[in-house]
Amino acid sequence: MDRGLREAVDSFGGPDTARFLFVVGTDEDVSDLDCRPGEYGACGSEWKPFAPEMSYTVRWMAQNAASSRQMRYEELSFANDIEKSLHLLSKRNESVIAIVDPSSLAIEQYRVVLEQYDRLQLDNSGIVVFWGMGSDNRNARVGLSESLTRTLPNTRAAHGYSEVQSFDDVTSELVSTLVKVRNRILARADPGSVIEDKRIVDLAGEQGIRVDQKPIIQATRIG
Amino acid sequence: MCLANIAWLLASSGHKTLVVDWDLEAPGLHRFFHPFLPDPELASTDGLIEFLQEYVAEALRPRSAKTHSADWYARTSKLTRYAFSLRRTEFSGGGTLDFVPAGRQDAGYASKVTSFDWERFFTRFGGGLFLQAVREHLRSIYDFVLIDSRTGVSDISGVCTVQMPDELVVAFTYNHQNIKGAAAVVASVVEQRSKGPLIWPVPMRVELAEKSKLETARFAVREAFDRYLTRQTAVDRTAYWGSVEIPHDPYYAFEEVLATFAEKAGVSNSVLGAMERITSWLVQENSTTDQPSKFKWRAPEEEDRLKALDKYARRLAPLTCKLETYPTVVRGEGLCEALPEVVLRFTGGLPVSLGGTPHVMSVTAFVNTTLTSRFIPPDGISVGLVPQAGGKPISGSIKPPGSIRSAGNAVSFPEMVIDPPGVGQETVWWIRGLRANVAERGARSQVVLGDPHISLFVATSGADPVAVQNPQIRLASVRNGFQFQILPEKNGTLPVPISQEKGHNVELFGEREPAALGLSFRVRFEEGFAGAFKTKNQEGSSATTGTRFLVDFSNVPSGVEIFVTESCIDSHASQEGPVLAPVVVYVGSNVAGQRQRRVPPYGPLVQLRSSGGTCNAEWEWNCAAEGTQSGLRACTFGVVLAARPNKAALGIGSISGTLGPVSDLILASEYGPIPRFINVGEPQDVIDVRNADERPASA
């Protein structure tokens, strides 16, 4: 692999990569559920939670939110070992957002993945639950909400959790969750690189500036 | 203020200048430049905090050993990527003025600033080295980089006063706390920097009227700061202190305005004069020649100065209006569907009580279909523009109905008067009582593409109209509610096969009531909107107020007689009694005299009179019992076909159903009779008279 390509590959990762995990069934998975025609697609990211009024897929919404914050959009596949993947992404300091369809939690594989996600409680992860048009029925909504609480005993109280109640909420909720997760990574993660440049150190020394510690104005001297 | 003016003077005197708003906790430097900024409120402009976050994010990216290079931070240390240039003709002498704001002033700004951990930035991310790299980069580009620092004790003030500067301008006022505090900051900086920085103490907002106190303060200041003016001789120091005092001018207390525009150049005892002298000191100190020339800057032309000054002036938020509503769903077959009320929310302007003037204007509301509200002067008003004050209706303030003009799809309220509520206050008007022909926009209409809906556009006109921020809003989505179904009997088929030779239900032609008879088919009227079925009014004064259920038969082969049940036959309706009983066949010319046959279990049958192959039946919901009005959503009636042997003509007859009163409309009110429905019926075949030879074996 040439250097340019290697750099391009390496430029992936870090807090500016927004990796989305779609905890959403496919149309095949949800055939037994009471869903509207055309609501689900061949993969989770093709879910249209606000169809037929709004025919946007969750992938489109996630891409939009990521690009509005100048973040790189990536997807996390269910095909991988999810726990292993999440640990790896945590080491790479990537922002991971799970997009959750409460109705799909009736299907075991999605519920299990979300339970694992919740159990790990990683700093780099957040969850956005979409209450689509399919969950308008009040009784169904109560049931789904209880199922969600059972599946996410830890994350619901955490900072990186939000719910989208209508299409109008989509951008604000996704963006605010992305920003929160990114800020948390920036505030807590350890760097993969530090500056090691003797020229800069020497220049600072010539000007009498210490670069190894935070300068502090002594409060005791004031007043 | 001091920094912004000095920056402007430097750029206007031919120096490449950068200004950085490092006062992250209270950014405000952009206010001094806002008339010249493309994004005056910095709502979408990134700045210093995003720059610092970018570096941290870069450091957090995984890197393989192969591609890791020592200068990986080089790109991120270029703060100039976040700077933008202010373009002015005054800078044409080679000077430039670039500005790096504190950060994007959106909802996430405070969180970014408070969550940025300066301690970790220095200890884990090599922040000290990074800032040194930033410093070197900026020094290589600009003649002067001016950093606006947080005052007092904070993480940020340490960075700005200790790490970043070559020269430190310390601004303070002549009170004890300020003088001592500023001196302590300088002492702390000098202690931490083995070389420099050069200190420039500058007294601000100096009140010249109090002569004796002024002299005492001046003495205290010299005692505190003279020791740091190391490059000046005693004579120079006296000259310095005599020239850098910035006088107090109350004018600057109200708006962030540059003195370079607020004042004319060349007046020595002005704020601008002081700024010129401070700038002159800085320029001379940094001159690269042995004989520095006198500081000269290019002041704006008088016309430009006044224009810029006008842009700085605080503008009263103008009177504006915003539309609001709670969108609803209306019935696609309705001709007079009630639309939700529309709120006109007015804010801003100068109230009359404070010297403002009232606005007089016409308000016109356009709907994207025909308005069917009835406008009956003088007291039958159904549409009103209702001003509100303090959330309560103003008694008698509904515009006189006579002044309301309706033009098909518009309703106008002329000469409305509004007293501007003022900034932060609001006045609310409501448009109420709108009804519209929804069928025109319904899903059954041929003219509507896409999502059928009702929207409203509000325009104001007249000598003093008010701007409407969102002139168009969606009032309602349109959904069809009515469904007409023809249900065959068990094991029956449709169309109902009738043998010409044998006849059909011949018992009905006998003298005796038939003991039992099956229905030929049922007709069912179903409604998706609760409340769409209306009972006949209690007073009985109008026969058009109850919902009617209509069926029309066409092409009925001669000799075929049609009987319908007098009442609905729904089992649930039977149990409720009061619903069933009052729904009666409308007794009119379409019934064949008084001929009724009683056929268990459906009660009386009424024979319809056919004329030219057409006949119709009409039932009305005429329920007087209280508590049953809202329950009706569906009604089923039975139809029995009969023919004597060899008397019926061959042919196929059809039926259509709809709700009534049917109308092409077009006026209604809340009180008067409401012609509510369009005819949505489409004929379906229900009668098939054939020879025995033609009949399929299975029949």
Q: What's the Rg (C-alpha) of chain A?
A: 22
B133/chain A closest Cα distance in angstroms: 6
Q: Token pair for residue B259?
A: 């003195």
Place of tokens 């109420």: B432
Pairing of strands A17-23, A95-100: parallel
Q: Between these two residues, B443 and A167, which has the higher pLDDT value?
A: A167
Q: Which of chain A's residues have a Cβ under 8 Å away from the Cβ of B120?
A: 187
pLDDT one-digit tens code per residue, B471-502: 999 999 888 888 889 999 888 888 999 999 98
* Tens-place pLDDT, residues B67-80: 567 778 888 899 99
**3-class secondary structure, B661:** coil
Listed in sequence order, the residues at least 6 apart from A214 whose beta carbon sits closer than 8 Å to its beta carbon are B118, B119, B121, B122, B123, B127, B128, B155, B158, B159
Other Cβ atoms within 10 Å of B635 Cβ, number = 24
A139 has a pLDDT exceeding 80: no
Look at residue B667 in the predicted model and tell me its pLDDT. 45
Residue B160 DSSP symbol: I
Residues of A with CB below 8 A from B67's CB? 3, 6-7, 10
Question: Residue B60: enclosing H or E segment and its boundaries?
Answer: helix B48-60
pLDDT greater at residue B163 or residue B531 = B163
pLDDT of B697 over the 80 cut: no
Question: Is B70 in contact with A197 (Cβ distance < 8 A)?
Answer: yes
Locus of tokens 């002549």:
B174
Q: Indicate the range of B60-69, B71-80, B239-248 predicted with least confidence.
A: B60-69
Higher-scoring residue by pLDDT: B222, B669: B222
Least Cα distance to B316 among B425, B420, B423 occurs for B423
**pLDDT value of position B365:** 87
Residue A2: CB atoms within 10 A of its CB come to 7
What is the complex's ipTM, to 2 decimals? Answer: 0.81
DSSP E strands in A31-84: the ranges are 72-75
Cα maximum dimension of chain A? 74
Q: Tell me the two tokens of residue B672.
A: 């008067």
**Among candidates B64, B162, B166 on the partner chain, residue whose Cβ is nearest the Cβ of A215:** B162
Contact criterion met (CB < 8 Å) for A192 and B132: no
User: How far apart are alpha carbons B590 and B595 in whole angstroms?
Assistant: 12
Instruction: Flag if B196 and A185 touch (Cβ within 8 Å).
Output: no
Interface contact flag, A200 B112, Cβ < 8 Å = no
How many pairs of residues across A and B have Cβ atoms under 8 Å apart? Answer: 172
Count the helices and strands in chain B (H runs, E runs). Answer: 14, 32
The answer to whether the Cβ–Cβ distance between B115 and A186 falls below 8 Å is: yes
**In chain A, count of helices (H) and strands (E)?**
7, 5
- The partner residues of B435 in beta bridges, in order of sequence, read B338
Domains located in chain A, CATH noted = 3-188 (3.40.50)
- Among A6, A208, A221, whose Cβ lies nearest the Cβ of B196? A208
3-state secondary structure at position B13: coil
Report the gap between the CA of B201 and the closest CA in chain A (Å).
16
Residue B253 DSSP SS3: helix
Give the H or E element holding residue B550: strand B548-554
Closest residue in chain B to residue A9, using alpha carbons only: B63
Q: Who wins on pLDDT, B535 or B48?
A: B48
- Reduce the DSSP state of residue A205 to 3 states and report it: helix
Chain A residue closest in CA terms to B64: A10
Query: At B498, which amino acid appears?
Result: I
Residue B620 or B455, more confident = B455
> Each residue of B350-377: pLDDT tens digit?
888 888 888 888 888 888 888 776 554 4
How far apart CA B11 and CA A207 sit, in angstroms, is: 26
CA–CA dist B244, B304 (Å, integer)? 27
Distance of residue A185 Cα from the nearest chain B Cα, in angstroms: 9
Is pLDDT of B644 > 80? yes
Q: Which residue bears the tokens 């993480």?
A: B155
Chain A, window 71-110: residues with a beta carbon less than 8 angstroms from a chain B beta carbon: 91-93
Asked if B644 and B506 touch (Cβ cutoff 8 Å), the reply is yes
CA atoms within 13 A on the CB side of A85: 17
Distance CA B522, CA B307 (A): 81
Mean pLDDT value across residues A201-222? 77
Contact yes or no for A204 and B129 at CB 8 A = yes
What one-letter code names the amino acid at B183? A
Portion 151-210 of A in contact with B at CB < 8 A: 176, 179-180, 182-187, 189-197, 200-201, 203-204, 206-210
A53 in B contact zone (CB under 8 Å): yes
Residues in chain A: 223
The model's pTM: 0.59
Strands (E), A107-206: 125-130, 161-164
- Residues B369 and B408: their CA atoms lie apart, in Å, by 8
